[in-house]
Structure 1
Amino acid sequence: MKAADIMTTKVFTIHSLATVADAIAKIQDKRVHSLIVEPSSSDDAYGIITETDIIYKVMAQDRDPESVMVYQIMTKPCIVVNPDLKLEDVARLFAATGIQRAPVIQNQLLGIISLTDLIMKSKVLPQSASDELSSKIYKTILHNPVASDLQTQIDQDCEVAWDVVETLEIEP
């Protein structure tokens, strides 16, 4: 399997000139652990701001999140993953660098891959992908974020499954 097979495709971004308070609000609202910082120009690199950055560089130092800008604490350029990278190579990259997540980029932002994705989504085969519907639902669920609790995960997976069913009903 490759990074593209298990990456989360729903990625949330933020501008580098946003405040850390804005980043915290977005992280809470979207229930994610990091935000990708948008490049400021076409030749600029992506950045990343994580919960760890916020805790260590703002809260632990008693800095005001309203007055600290994302660009002041983000990691940039950040380590990125090619979508064709094998999962064992992604795991080695994470182990060697100590990171927990990285954007998946190939000319543009495609997704994000995390330790959670590696654990929860790798080498998992659909229990019954014998029909087209099951296969499409399984593949779609793989590219969604892993929820923090079982009920939220079930609700999220059900929503994804219904979206796939509705899409198939529309197709000729």
Structure 2
Amino acid sequence: MQDNNKIIRARDVMTNGFISIDGMATAKEAAEKMRSEKISALLVNKRYEDDAWGIVVVQDFIKGVIISGRPPEQVNVYEIMTKPVITVPASMDIRYVARLLYRAGIRRAPVEDKEEIVGMISLSSIILQNDLL
């Protein structure tokens, strides 16, 4: 159980770093990258400084490629991604991170510190990497 005096923050649970891809890449290229890196989400790069980050996850491939019947080499990542992506402040208490992800209906989010993405956090990492239960 979490010690009530010690607050566990997003930075304490997140996976450091992230893997990204360009929005113009194909779904096939993105899936290959995810397979080779053994990950289930890719951040989609900003196109310019004031742009928002995007994210593409396994469910996006299911909906945008498999169910739609479109060839993955003819689908660009920007067509199936979610943008803007919900980010989590690195200093946020994981109780609030869990609540945010759960209520938003998402499983993972990038972690942001001083306007830079520094890692990823997921609902499973909150449970698996901590002695919460």
For normalisation by structure 1, the TM-score amounts to 0.70
- Runs of 4+ in structure 1 off by over 4 angstroms are none
The answer for the alignment partner of 1:37 in structure 2 is: 44
Match of 2:72, SS? Answer: coil
Aligned residue for 1:89? 96
1:118 pairs with 2:132? no
2-side partners of 1:122 and 1:15: how far apart? Answer: 33
Aligned to 1:54: 61
Query: Which AA in structure 2 matches 1:88?
Result: R
Instruction: Determine which of 90, 109, 123 is the counterpart of 1:102.
Output: 109
Paired letter, 1:93: L
Q: Structure 1: which amino acid aligns with 2:119?
A: G
Report the Cα offset of residue 98 of structure 1: 0.5
Is 1:77 paired with 2:92? Answer: no
Letter in 1 for 2:125: D
- The CA distance in 1 between the partners of 2:127 and 2:70, in whole Å, is 34
Percentage of identical aligned residues? 38
Counterpart in 2 of 1:134?
Answer: none
**Aligned partners of 1:115, 1:11: CA distance in 2, in Å?**
16
The answer to whether the aligner puts 1:4 opposite 2:11 as a matched pair is yes
1:21 & 1:55 partners in 2: Cα distance? 12
SS at match of 1:21: helix
The structure in which a higher percent of residues are strand is 2
Which structure: greater helix fraction?
1
**AA in 2 matched with 1:50:** V
Gaps of 5+ in 1: 125-172
Please tell me whether residue 64 in structure 1 is matched to residue 86 in structure 2: no
Q: CA RMSD in A?
A: 1.0
Q: Distance in 2 between matches of 1:123 and 1:25?
A: 34
| Cα offset, 1:10, TM superposition | 3.3
Report how far residue 116 of structure 1 moved.
1.6
Rounded Cα–Cα distance in structure 2 between residues aligned with 1:113 and 1:60: 28
Q: 1:122, 1:45 → 2: CA distance?
A: 31
Q: What SS does the corresponding residue of 1:66 show, helix, strand or coil?
A: helix
Matched length? 124
Which structure has more relative contact order (CA 8 Å, sep 6+)? It is 2
Q: Partner of 1:144 in structure 2? A: none
